[in-house]
Amino acid sequence: LKPIYCDRIDKGILWSNKPITIIKETETTALVDGNLGLGLYIGPYCMNLAIQKAKKYGVGFVAVQRSTHYGIAGYYASMAAEAGCVGLCGTNARPSIAPTFGVEPMLGTNPLCFGIPSDDDFPFVIDCATSVNQRGKIEKYAREGVETPRGAVIDNEGIERTDTEGILRDMVLGKCALTPLG
């Protein structure tokens, strides 16, 4: 597991053995409580539930509360597309992006993702970030010992940052932010 998952398990904010609970359900919708379980398990469960509903009733929508990091949004949209459904997938995240012309982290890296079946050998899937970079990529730069590219991170004074280790430290303290896409 990624260290972030192990750290969250140690802190009691992620549970590897909690059951998934369906709180409310209709023929076409469901509200699921992940009970702070592993998002990488909750995500496929919920997308499969949405696909089952869509196959039977023409549409399926599942919302999840109290889940944790669920990985690549495009994976879930691909599941729907490969099942012959149009998939829409997204999640929320803690504030780490400064809004346009801002310097304080106020927006989450909330992806927008669509998957659509096609006549080609593969579906059309687009997984859009809302920031130029994401924290995971900056962590990768740290492992590689390289600087973060210019334009990806700014500090509270609006100055571009490239010092990868300092960025990771200061992101936790709210002293720098990812830059927005667009």
Sheet with strand 61-65: strands edge to edge: 21-25, 29-33, 61-65
Q: Rounded CA gap, 89 and 113, in Å?
A: 5
What would the pLDDT profile of 53-98 be if each residue is shown by its tens digit? 999 999 999 999 999 888 889 999 999 999 999 999 988 888 999 9
The tokens for 153 are 């991170």
3-state secondary structure of 62: strand
Q: Rounded CA gap, 49 and 122, in Å?
A: 22
For residue 34, the model assigns a pLDDT of: 95
Q: What are phi and psi of 115, to 5 degrees?
A: -135, 130
Percent of the chain residues topping a pLDDT of 70: 99
For residue 182, the model assigns a pLDDT of: 66
Position 99 confidence tier, pLDDT thresholds 50, 70, 90: very high
Q: What are phi and psi of 85, to 5 degrees?
A: -115, 155
Q: How far is CA 81 from CA 30, 50, 74, 124, 141, in A?
A: 20, 12, 10, 8, 32
Q: Rounded CA gap, 163 and 178, in Å?
A: 13
What would the pLDDT profile of 16-52 be if each residue is shown by its tens digit? 888 999 999 999 999 999 999 999 999 999 999 999 9
Q: Rounded CA gap, 111 and 106, in Å?
A: 15
| pTM for this entry | 0.84
- Average confidence (pLDDT) over 148-155: 95
pLDDT at 1 over 60: no
Of all helices (H) and strands (E), which one includes residue 168? helix 164-173
Q: Does residue 134 contact residue 152 with C-beta atoms inside 8 Å?
A: no
The pLDDT mean for the chain works out to: 93
